[in-house]
Amino acid sequence: MTARPLSDTDRTRHRRLRAQGGTDRAELDAILAAGFLCHLGVLVDGSVLVIPTVYGSTGTDLYLHGSVASRSLIASPNSTVCVTITHIDGLVLARSVFEHGVNYRSAMIFGTPRPVDDPDEKLEGLRCLTEQSAPGQWEYARRPNRRELAATALLDLSLDEASVKIRTGPPDDGDGPDAALGLWAGVLPLHTGWGAPQPDPALPADIAAPPHIATRSGAPTA
């Protein structure tokens, strides 16, 4: 990959994980654990589609799901897809526009998804997907019945081929000639966090949000 995601600097680390070291693997795991949204790139009828979708990570595989009628889900098992997960941590505001950039953590996973048909594995995959974004909900909510399972397509994508890119830290022009300009430079951090749960208006007033939902309010997501 020589693709340039967001900024190229000395601090940008870009490593293929095909022959991964422990550190890179840990970075990949941390990026996956910090989110639940990915962008799935797949070729459908000769056109690239980039589809936002949720994922669940087992540590060795990603699960993706969707309607059995979804064109992108149907096309995915026949071709190599690219799944990208990106967390934005802040804007890098340098002295020069050229050195502006973004602090971020990003993972790209390449592979040919395997459709999951076995009902037990399908349930396990949906548990993984549910718990990725909403820990505790698999135990709390009503689980999928046979009809719902049949209506859901599940894909398994191995994490064997993945790369990680991370940029952290201040701008890179603090020791160059632009430092003499006397301009402010630094990072404007971006924070993401959960708000207070909003009850469904159809909900009876005596049903309170359970602790696994109520306690997330105010917590950062990534």
Could you say which residues in the range 28-47 bind its own copies, by CB under 8 A? 37, 39-44, 47
Q: Which of 104, 122, 128, 156 is the binder for its own copies (CB under 8 A)?
A: 104
118 scored as a contact of its own copies (CB under 8 A): no
- Angle among Cα 219, 124, 77 to the nearest 5 degrees reads 105
106 scored as a contact of its own copies (CB under 8 A): yes
SS3 of 150, please?
A: helix
DSSP single-letter state for residue 206: T
- Smallest gap from Cβ 29 to its own copies, in A, equals 19
Q: Which two tokens stand for residue 129?
A: 């997907």
- Smallest gap from Cβ 131 to its own copies, in A, equals 10
Q: Rg of the Cα trace of the chain?
A: 21
Q: Which of 130, 154, 164, 166 is the binder for its own copies (CB under 8 A)?
A: 130
Q: Which of 86, 113, 157, 167 is the binder for its own copies (CB under 8 A)?
A: 86
194 scored as a contact of its own copies (CB under 8 A): yes
146 scored as a contact of its own copies (CB under 8 A): no
83 scored as a contact of its own copies (CB under 8 A): yes
Piece of 12-20, 22-30, 87-95, 113-121 that binds its own copies (CB under 8 A): 87-95
Q: Which of 28, 31, 32, 51 is the binder for its own copies (CB under 8 A)?
A: 51
The pairs formed by 67-75 with CB atoms below 8 angstroms and a separation of 24 or more are 67/151, 67/152, 67/153, 68/150, 68/151, 68/152, 68/153, 70/153, 71/44, 72/40, 72/42, 72/44, 73/153, 73/155, 74/153, 75/42, 75/43, 75/44, 75/45
- Smallest gap from Cβ 154 to its own copies, in A, equals 13
